């Protein structure tokens, strides 16, 4: 296990941001922490990145405790923040060199690492550009290049896709897969974006600081039975009662939407529309998503 | 003290210089205030020489404190985050920031030395060397103080308040505007207790060794300023190293 958390608990005053969270990540995994904003992901990220100590419990990276051996942990983790952490007035290369210096690297090793990371993130032709002039996607790539300079064993990424358009997200995700494949880097990322979570090897779903579920995206989705059918109605509660009585299902109501999980959803759709004419404004079927898993376990939505 | 201590110091120092060079017109604008003050007050009282040391101190104070506002920008822009999660020792981080800002304040004070002849002083190389050394010491002291403020504050407004409510009044009773001999009883004590008095006196005595205005002796002035600078830097390091359970950046 390259990363381990045991019974992590964190309090802000009397508010519990993390509540006895335990999990572990194996070497070379892309591990996602999925949950809504404000659910404890950022707190967990800050603790793992050695930015603050947990109220109780512990976490280790490569065997070093994040609270008591911060310097050892910092040498082994690369941190990509959700917000920018570059010097906007410096060029890409100047930022990378400064980062090397902060890690005590100089001379031939520094040169080699800067070249390699520029190349890995396809930034070589942008090296002399001042960061302020770069697009959001490019800046994120510089952030990642910067985090990789000291050859970390674990890359911690806080909401890496947030604020990026879908094309750039896809590209970023490819970069992550490549890093893991070529360099054996373990990646831990936090996210509330389903597509990003879908591309992780394993996920920990968290809600209100507690574990909701853990597993591969496929395992998690398999927990939801069959298909998901979502109906829009002017009286969703009344509809839910009727559907429950007639089809022996457990509908969930959220706003004016009612949602059921059922095998062979396509057949159910025709049946339910015929059974309650006029009561359903619209109806849709989809394969289970991580959102459905989260809804089932918590009753709350991720995004 | 090895590579992993000095490389971060060097890189943070260098970064401040690069940024300064890229925004030099904006930064040098801070020189205007002390110069205008000097020209007006100096000619008003008909004594350009007397007000020159105070002007130099004021300029160092302004530029040191304003350079240190970069720490608040670093926090806001996120660069501080990278420093906080790097294995660089906090002491070297603080030293790098303080040396960077001191150097900027120092360069700006050196530019003001061009006005020495206009103030009626004969410029010699030893005089310039002594002044340059003292000005760096004063810049270091002010930036260490600035670091403490900037670490605790999260807005630049707070900085302006401290400048106006604490530093500017201290400067006014530092011998910049009136001498210790001219001051009355309690004011004299206030001046003696004011660390800034020693910074101004150091410059005054270098420019005019035969001074008899009741200001502190050169050696004492340098020692007090040095002691202030080193203690403020140590306190800054301690404050920046303290562990918290709250996020620091």
Q: What confidence score (pLDDT) does residue B162 get?
A: 85
Each residue's pLDDT tens digit, A179-223: 888 878 999 999 998 989 999 999 999 999 999 999 999 999 988
Residue of B nearest to A83 (CA): B78
Cβ B112 vs Cβ B31: under 8 Å: yes
What's the total number of domains in chain A? 2
Judgement on whether residues A55 and A192 belong to the same structural domain of the protein: yes
Judgement on whether residues A23 and A155 belong to the same structural domain of the protein: yes
Judgement on whether residues A194 and A56 belong to the same structural domain of the protein: yes
Across the interface, whether the CB atoms of A74 and B247 are under 8 A apart is answered no
CATH number at residue A145: 3.40.50.300
pLDDT at B24 over 90: no
Q: Cα angle at A265 between A260 and A267, to 5 degrees? A: 130
Cβ B249 vs Cβ B84: under 8 Å: yes
Judgement on whether residues A60 and A84 belong to the same structural domain of the protein: yes
Task: Over range A2-14, report the average pLDDT.
Answer: 93
Judgement on whether residues A199 and A239 belong to the same structural domain of the protein: no
Q: What confidence score (pLDDT) does residue B52 get?
A: 93
Across the interface, whether the CB atoms of B7 and A74 are under 8 A apart is answered no
**A212 vs A206: CA distance, rounded Å:** 5
pLDDT at A121 over 90: no
Across the interface, whether the CB atoms of A50 and B85 are under 8 A apart is answered yes
3-class state of residue B78 by DSSP: coil
Each residue's pLDDT tens digit, B46-55: 888 999 999 9
Q: Which of B7, B77, B87 sits opposite A75 (nearest CB)?
A: B87
Query: Which of the four pLDDT bands, split at 50, 70 and 90, describes residue B82?
Result: confident
Minimal CA separation from B238 to chain A, in Å: 17
Question: By percentage, how much of chain A surpasses pLDDT 70?
Answer: 100
Query: Which of the four pLDDT bands, split at 50, 70 and 90, describes residue B34?
Result: confident
Query: Which of the four pLDDT bands, split at 50, 70 and 90, describes residue B158?
Result: confident
Task: Over range A35-64, report the average pLDDT.
Answer: 92
CATH number at residue A232: 3.30.70.260
The domain limits of chain B are: 3-241
Each residue's pLDDT tens digit, A134-184: 998 899 999 999 999 999 999 999 998 887 788 888 888 888 888 888 878
Across the interface, whether the CB atoms of B77 and A87 are under 8 A apart is answered yes
Judgement on whether residues A241 and A208 belong to the same structural domain of the protein: no
β A282-286/A257-262 pair status? unpaired
Each residue's pLDDT tens digit, A86-102: 999 999 999 999 999 99
pLDDT at B244 over 60: no
**A80 vs B81: CA distance, rounded Å:** 10
Q: What confidence score (pLDDT) does residue B1 get?
A: 56
β A77-80/A154-158 pair status? parallel
Q: What confidence score (pLDDT) does residue B249 get?
A: 44
Task: Over range B150-169, report the average pLDDT.
Answer: 85
Judgement on whether residues A191 and A235 belong to the same structural domain of the protein: no
Judgement on whether residues A53 and A148 belong to the same structural domain of the protein: yes
Q: Which residues on neighbouring strands pair with residue B23, listed in sequence order?
A: none
3-class state of residue B1 by DSSP: coil
Judgement on whether residues A275 and A153 belong to the same structural domain of the protein: no
Which 13-32 residues of chain B touch chain A by CB within 8 A?
14-15, 18-19, 22-23
Q: What confidence score (pLDDT) does residue A190 get?
A: 95
Q: What confidence score (pLDDT) does residue A38 get?
A: 84
Interhelix angle A107-120/A136-148, nearest 10 degrees: 140
Residue numbers of the domain that contains A270: 225-287
Judgement on whether residues A17 and A109 belong to the same structural domain of the protein: yes
**B123 vs B113: CA distance, rounded Å:** 9
Judgement on whether residues A55 and A99 belong to the same structural domain of the protein: yes
Q: What confidence score (pLDDT) does residue A302 get?
A: 81
The pair phi, psi for residue A158, each rounded to 5°, is: -95, 115
Cβ B205 vs Cβ B215: under 8 Å: yes
| Residue A111 touches partner B, C-beta closer than 8 Å | no
Judgement on whether residues A96 and A24 belong to the same structural domain of the protein: yes
Q: What confidence score (pLDDT) does residue B248 get?
A: 44
Residue of A nearest to B11 (CA): A98
Across the interface, whether the CB atoms of B82 and A85 are under 8 A apart is answered yes
Q: Chain-wide mean pLDDT for chain A?
A: 91
Give domain status of residue A100, yes or no.
yes
Q: Which two tokens stand for residue A78?
A: 């690369």
């Amino acid at each position: 296990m390259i990363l381990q958390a045991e019974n992590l608990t964190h309090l802000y005053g009397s508010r519990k941001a993390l509540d006895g969270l335990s999990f572990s990540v194996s070497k070379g995994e892309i591990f996602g922490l999925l949950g809504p904003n404000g659910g404890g992901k950022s707190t967990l990220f800050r603790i793992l990145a050695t930015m603050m100590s947990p109220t109780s419990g512990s976490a280790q990276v490569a065997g070093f405790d994040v609270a008591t051996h911060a310097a050892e942990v910092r040498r082994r983790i690369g941190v990509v923040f959700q917000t920018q952490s570059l010097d906007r007035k410096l060029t890409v290369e100047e930022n990378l060199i400064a980062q090397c210096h902060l890690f005590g690297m100089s001379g031939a090793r520094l040169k080699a690492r800067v070249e390699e990371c520029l190349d890995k993130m396809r930034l070589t032709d942008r090296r002399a550009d001042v960061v302020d002039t770069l697009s959001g996607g490019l800046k994120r790539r510089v952030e990642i290049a910067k985090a990789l300079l000291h050859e970390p064993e674990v890359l911690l990424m806080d909401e890496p896709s947030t604020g990026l358009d879908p094309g750039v997200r896809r590209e970023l995700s490819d970069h992550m897969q490549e890093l893991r494949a070529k360099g054996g880097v373990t990646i831990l990322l936090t996210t509330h974006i389903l597509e990003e979570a879908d591309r992780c090897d394993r996920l920990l779903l968290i809600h209100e600081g507690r574990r909701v579920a853990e597993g591969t995206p496929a395992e998690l989705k398999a927990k939801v039975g069959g298909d998901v059918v979502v109906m829009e109605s002017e009286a969703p509660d009344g509809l839910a009662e009727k559907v429950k009585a007639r089809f022996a299902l457990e509908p969930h109501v959220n706003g004016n939407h009612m949602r059921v999980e059922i095998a062979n959803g396509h057949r159910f759709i025709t049946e339910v529309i015929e059974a309650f004419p006029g009561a359903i404004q619209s109806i849709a079927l989809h394969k289970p998503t991580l959102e459905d898993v989260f809804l089932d376990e918590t009753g709350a939505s991720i995004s | 003290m090895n590579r992993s201590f000095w490389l971060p110091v060097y890189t943070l120092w260098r970064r401040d210089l690069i940024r300064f060079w890229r925004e030099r017109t904006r930064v040098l604008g801070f020189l205007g205030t002390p110069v205008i003050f000097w020209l007006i007050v100096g000619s008003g009282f008909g004594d350009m020489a007397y007000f020159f040391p105070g002007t130099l101190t004021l300029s160092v104070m302004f530029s040191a404190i304003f350079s240190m506002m970069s720490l608040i920008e670093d926090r806001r822009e996120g660069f501080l985050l990278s420093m906080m999660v790097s294995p660089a020792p906090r002491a070297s981080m603080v030293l790098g920031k303080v040396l960077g800002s001191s150097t900027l304040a120092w360069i700006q004070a050196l530019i003001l030395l061009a006005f020495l002849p206009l103030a009626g002083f004969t410029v010699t190389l030893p005089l310039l060397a002594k002044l340059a050394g003292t000005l760096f010491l004063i810049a270091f002291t002010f930036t260490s103080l600035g670091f403490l403020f900037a670490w605790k504050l999260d807005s630049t407004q707070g900085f302006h308040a401290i400048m106006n409510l604490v530093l500017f009044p201290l400067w006014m009773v530092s011998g910049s505007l009136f001498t210790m001999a001219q001051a009355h009883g309690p004011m004299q004590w206030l001046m003696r207790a004011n660390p800034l008095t020693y910074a101004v006196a150091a410059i005054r005595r270098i420019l005019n060794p035969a001074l008899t205005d009741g200001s502190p002796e050169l050696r004492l002035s340098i020692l007090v300023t040095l002691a202030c600078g080193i203690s403020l830097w140590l306190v800054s390091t301690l404050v920046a190293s303290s562990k918290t359970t709250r996020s620091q950046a």
